[in-house]
């Protein structure tokens, strides 16, 4: 999600490391869901 709450990308996680390309430098909210838990973090991408 971007900082105003719009979904930017929704992609399944296939491995331990997944790469996602974002075109703009900005703050993003990253939410990772698994069968056992959910983690949400605010990150800045240059």
Domain-embedded: residue 8? yes
Domain-embedded: residue 41? no
What is the number of alpha carbons within 13 Å of residue 42 lying toward its C-beta? 6
Domain that holds residue 21: 1-25
pLDDT of 21 reads: 83
Q: pLDDT digits over 1-46, tens only?
A: 988 999 998 988 777 777 888 888 999 999 988 888 999 999 998 8
Domain-embedded: residue 11? yes
Domain-embedded: residue 43? no
Domain-embedded: residue 46? no
Count of domains forming the chain: 1
Domain-embedded: residue 42? no
Domain-embedded: residue 12? yes
């Amino acid at each position: 999600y971007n900082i105003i709450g719009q979904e930017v990308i929704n992609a399944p996680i296939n491995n331990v490391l997944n790469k996602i390309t974002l075109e703009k430098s900005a703050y993003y909210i990253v939410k990772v869901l698994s069968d056992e838990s959910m983690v949400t973090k605010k990150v800045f991408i240059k």
